[in-house]
Chain A
Amino acid sequence: MKDKDKNIDNFIKQNLEIQEPSMNFSDNVMEEIYALDLKKDKALSSLMQKHVLEEPSIDFTSRVMAGIEQKSKVLAYQPVIGKKVWFLISSVIVFIFVYTFIKMDFAITENIYIENLQSRVSNLFVFEYPSLDISPIYVLGIFALSSLLFLDYFIRNRRVAY
């Protein structure tokens, strides 16, 4: 009996044919799927466009522009004269200060060592400069001014860095 059933099964299997749909069946199915996805995508896009866009507070633009203006002001603090120029200026000032200090007549000084040093340093300058008869107050004034300018430069520079 079992053998008979097996034979029938085999007979059916052998005679069964896998039937094929039309040539463009897969394409049609895929097209349908894409179309459905596209429609769903369009619907989602439409919903998002309608409902998702949010608005910041009313004065947002003016606050941004105020921030930009403030930033521009801070940037405007950047020194026009660069570090190198300041270094040059300060060197010149220091040179003038030292030169006049050496050239000054130390009437009060009785110290020979200082006098010797003064003459030694003076001898370094073999060329003759027009004598700078400036009062020590002027020299100190220039020195104080340059120090203040330096201080101002570094303070401003620090603000820009923030």
Chain B
Amino acid sequence: MRHTAIMDRKPDQIYIDRVLQGDTNAFAYLVNKYKNLTYTVAMKIVRNHEDAEEVAQDSFIKAYSQLHTFKGESKFSTWLYTIVYRNSITKIRKKKITTTNIDSYVIDNHKSDYDFPQIEAIKNGEQKKYIAEAIDNLPETDAFLITLYYLDESSVEEIEQITGLTKTNVKVKLFRARKKLYNELSLLLKGELKEII
């Protein structure tokens, strides 16, 4: 699956070249292609619709104005998510400084596992909600990493580049996040495993 990402680079580069030659509208292709994942990964860190949209929007505008610095040595998405990650971290840092309420922070970050309902209660349509909840129970960076790992199919090296964390740190965080998700989503995963097998 991961090699398809390499094949995706070519059309990206065509549009990047067009933007650099002055065709601003060509950038809309890149926005449309990456907006969902950009918004999703921003959401994993800032945890709020308005802020995630703002971060995603600012990241695209920043990417546009800095596009001449993109050398094409990595995937465009890797470069873009580096901007998204930094913007998201800046956003939550600013927010935490100005508005953090210790009590609500403790409550938000300690949702107990027993809040998680039984599989019988989870209807198909509700799965999304419970998966989102399980990911939200992870620390922000871990949720960001795991989303990139599975949805963008980013490699450990790419995640290392995006976040600036060491390779070992990325591996450890991914391992812990996966383990926690396996536990929290074990019932859903059983169903999914049956489908896969």
Contacts and interface: CB of A to CB of B under 8 A. Distances in A.
Interface in B145-197: 146-147, 150-151, 178, 181-182, 185, 188-189, 192-193, 195-197
Contact of B27 (A43, A50, A60, A65): A65
A53 B151 contact: yes
Contacts of B128: 51-52
Contacts of B185: 44, 47
B27 A68 contact: yes
B150 A68 contact: no
A43 B191 CA distance: 9
Given A42-B196, A53-B37, A54-B36, 14 more contacts: A39-B193, A48-B131, A48-B151, A53-B36, A53-B151, A63-B57, A64-B35, A64-B57, A67-B60, A68-B60, A68-B61, A68-B64, A69-B24, A72-B24
B147 A48 contact: yes
A49 B36 contact: no
A64 B31 contact: yes
A56 B193 contact: no
A61 B28 contact: yes
Interface string A59-99: 01101110111011000000000000000000000000000
A40 B182 contact: yes
Contact of B147 (A52, A55, A57): A52
A49 B128 CA distance: 10
B192 A46 contact: yes
A57 B43 CA distance: 13
B126 to A, nearest CB: 10
B69 interface: no
A47 B189 contact: yes
A115 interface: no
Query: What size tier do the contact residues of chain A reach?
Result: 20 to 34
Interface of A: 39-57, 60-61, 63-65, 67-69, 71-72
B91 to A, nearest CB: 15
Contacts of B189: 40, 43-44, 47
B17 interface: no
Interface in B52-73: 52-53, 56-57, 60-61, 64-65
A53 B57 contact: no
B61 A54 contact: no
Nearest to B29: A61
A61 B32 contact: yes
A67 B24 CA distance: 12
A65 B24 CA distance: 8
B76 interface: no
A42 B192 CA distance: 9
A72 B32 CA distance: 20
A61 B38 CA distance: 12
Pairs of residues from A and B, 4 with the lowest C-beta to C-beta distance, nearest first: A43-B192, A51-B128, A56-B39, A48-B150
A57 B57 CA distance: 11
Contacts of B25: 65
Given A43-B192, A43-B196, A47-B189, A60 B151 contact: no
Nearest to B53: A56
A44 B24 CA distance: 38
Contacts of A63: 57
Given A65-B31, A67-B61, A68-B61, A47 B192 contact: yes
